[in-house]
A and B are shown apart, each in its own frame.
Chain A
């Protein structure tokens, strides 16, 4: 069956621009997570949705980052006024309802964001 998909796979932008990254979770998965991963490091938690609402957004680094999931399926991560330090791979994952936020997560391939 279809896994988690993320678009675009690569995004190059200029400092100060606005970007949107999209995640299509596995159908029926109610939980959705966003992480970012810098080269050689583990994924860093950003935000976790249960259905349409953000259950935990404590990982968003500042108010330039925002994520939505209006219908409880597709999610969009939005970054305003991008900075070079935002360059990373942004990973999305989804999971079924189960053992809370640490339930088995299925990851997408990521979006590689490069800010010039």
Chain B
């Protein structure tokens, strides 16, 4: 069964850099890799997206190796307000075709 895999949880302290990796062995050829942030009782919110190599925006960086079987979200200098659940979203190929698939989410706790 094609799936994405992320660490269930991570702890960090304010000001540190946090890296969250998502594994997606069966990623579909044409799909981008997207990361979302979700707070309790809200819908996910877009963070960053990329196809390959490295992408950087004002809040994060995304590292994607050449084989695209994983991706790493990098949050520089986290603050308490970054405490949330982080999800990767990819298209995964399987025998039935390919389907948009979210990872199980990584619960990030930022401590003072």
A, B bound? yes
Q: How far is the CB of A47 from chain B (nearest CB, A)?
A: 10
CA distance A61 to B28 in the complex (A): 21
Q: Evaluate contact between A93 and B43: CB separation under 8 angstroms.
A: yes
Interface centre among A56, A58, A101 (most CB of B within 10 A): A101
Secondary structure at the B interface, as helix, strand, loop or mixed, is strand
* 11 A-B interface contacts by CB (under 8 A): A43-B44, A45-B101, A48-B100, A100-B31, A101-B91, A102-B33, A102-B49, A102-B91, A102-B100, A105-B34, A107-B44
Q: Evaluate contact between A108 and B43: CB separation under 8 angstroms.
A: yes
Q: Evaluate contact between A104 and B43: CB separation under 8 angstroms.
A: no
Q: Evaluate contact between A58 and B87: CB separation under 8 angstroms.
A: no
CA distance A109 to B32 in the complex (A): 24
| Partner of A102 from B34, B103, B104, B105 at Cβ < 8 Å | B34
Kindly count the residue-residue contacts between A and B in the assembled complex, taking CB atoms under 8 Å apart. Answer: 66
Judge if A4 is at the interface, Cβ distance under 8 Å. yes
Known contacts: A42-B87, A100-B31. The answer to whether A58 contacts B99 by CB under 8 A is: yes
Find residues 57-104 in chain A having any chain B CB closer than 8 Å to their own CB: 58-59, 91, 93, 99-104
CA distance A39 to B53 in the complex (A): 33
